[in-house]
Amino acid sequence: MHTLLITGPGGAGRTTVAAATALAAARQGRRVLLLSGDPGAPDDRLVELLGPTTGPVAEVAPGLRAVPVAHGIRAARIDSGEEFRAELVTLQERGASLLGLLGGRPLGSEELTELPGAEQFALLRALRRAASAPGVDLLIVDMPPLHQAIATLALPAQLRRYLARLLPAQRQAARALRPVLAQLAGVPMPAQWLYDAAARWDEELAAVEAVVESPATELRLVAEPGPASDDALRTGRLGLALHRLPVASLVANRTVPRDSADPWVADLAARQRKYTDQWAAELTVAPLAHLGRDPRDLRDLTLLADTEGIAPREAAVYRRAWAVEDRLAEDGVLVWAVPLPGARKSDLDLIRRGDELLLTAGPYRRIVSLPSALRRCTVSGAALTDGELRVRFTPDPQLWPRER
């Protein structure tokens, strides 16, 4: 299944572009599931744009329900509050023995209100479910604003790393000792519940991570041409590149006619063209016309869906690897090339810690494991050249095999 995640700076028109993309793809005969994961969007916005429903709400995947709308598109919306309540109730049930030991009283589902961050987990869970929906060729996800979307998509790998550190492989020994400890203490031990819960979380996170990192998953950015969007895109693309999230295309939304006789409109068109041309030098850009008002219904949406370049391509973009260049013969170093388009030296920082490298790009940070060859080296320098961070590693004589 091809998965297209649509995001961009706040107020750029992500929901409209997601609906237009879904309509354009469905008119080409693709079976589309449109998932709204933006907590800021009105509940009925997608249905309002895509016309009246054509059937009842039905389950499209376990735990995910959708309603059919125009051209066979199925539209689903995430209820993060319901997801949070169901997950916490389940967690309480699994830890009932520990709660009883501590004298705690379980909370009823009607008492629970979602906590900050619940939207992220609900979106990731819905993404995993939607990716396995039968009878779907294209999954389109209306994501939150760009900065929040990056943080959400990076979350599975980050949480799996935390679980591995907090509950390492040695936990098996503790599980084996659990019956003995329970007899000595005379009370139920919570270790088994804790490890079982952690294993379940890791399994779910791994499934979501597989969807995010799949070669068939890519992003479409949406921005209204202008200086504010340009700054937001430059910073956002740094975060996307740092987490190796490929961008398929960019929709320049609400563009005005370039041949207008009105001087004000002509001047605005010229300023917009400056940014669209600049973006087109690095990305595939599809200009989407301003209708003179916010799109209101299927008729308006059809005008946008007819725009060239709105229908997504069949194939996913190439996910560029971070290559290790062998320059031992020439310079005595190995070079790790990290693509970071639009980066500036002031944006970047890196710290070596054990077998990991802590990379900072603007407001984004990622901890990555070093390739095996680089673990036997020390960091000897780094340089930013043409949007690529090149980190130099010098072999450690104590660890590097000597030539005979």
> Can you tell me whether residue 86 is helix, strand or coil?
helix
pLDDT at 400: 78
**Which architecture does CATH list for 324-395?**
Sandwich (2.60)
**Residue 181 in this model has a pLDDT that exceeds 50:** no
Task: Give the residue among 104, 102, 117 at the shortest CA–CA distance from 152.
Answer: 117
Q: Which residue has the tokens 């170093």?
A: 333
**Residue 35 in this model has a pLDDT that exceeds 70:** yes
> Is 205 within 8 Å of 113 (Cβ atoms)?
no
pTM exceeds 0.95, yes or no: no
In the chain, where does the domain assigned CATH 3.40.50.300 lie? 2-305
Between CA 3 and CA 1 the distance in angstroms is 6
- Provide mean pLDDT across the span 110-132: 77
Torsion of CA 17, 18, 22, 24, to 10 degrees: 10
pLDDT at 143: 93
**Residue 241 in this model has a pLDDT that exceeds 70:** yes
Between CA 370 and CA 375 the distance in angstroms is 6
In the chain, where does the domain assigned CATH 2.60.40.790 lie? 324-395
Q: How many CB atoms lie within 10 A of CB 377?
A: 20
| pLDDT tens string 257-316 | 888 888 899 999 999 999 999 999 999 999 999 998 889 889 999 999 999 999 998 765
The residues that bridge with 58 in the sheet, in sequence order, are 66
**Which architecture does CATH list for 2-305?**
3-Layer(aba) Sandwich (3.40)
Let me know the angle formed at the C-alpha of 129 by 125 and 132, rounded to the nearest 5 degrees. Answer: 150
The set of residues, in sequence order, having a beta carbon less than 8 Å from that of 244 and lying 6+ positions away, is: 213, 319, 320, 322
> Is 85 within 8 Å of 109 (Cβ atoms)?
yes
* DSSP code string of 344-384: -GGGEEEEEETTEEEEEETTEEEEEEPPGGGGGEEEEEEEE
| pLDDT tens string 314-348 | 765 667 779 999 998 898 999 999 999 989 999 99
- Provide mean pLDDT across the span 348-353: 93
**Residue 40 in this model has a pLDDT that exceeds 50:** yes
Task: Give the residue among 270, 254, 253, 251 at the shortest CA–CA distance from 262.
Answer: 270
pLDDT at 33: 95
Query: Could you give the count of Cα atoms lying within 13 Å of 234 in the half-sphere of its Cβ?
Result: 15
> Can you tell me whether residue 305 is helix, strand or coil?
helix
- Provide mean pLDDT across the span 160-170: 74
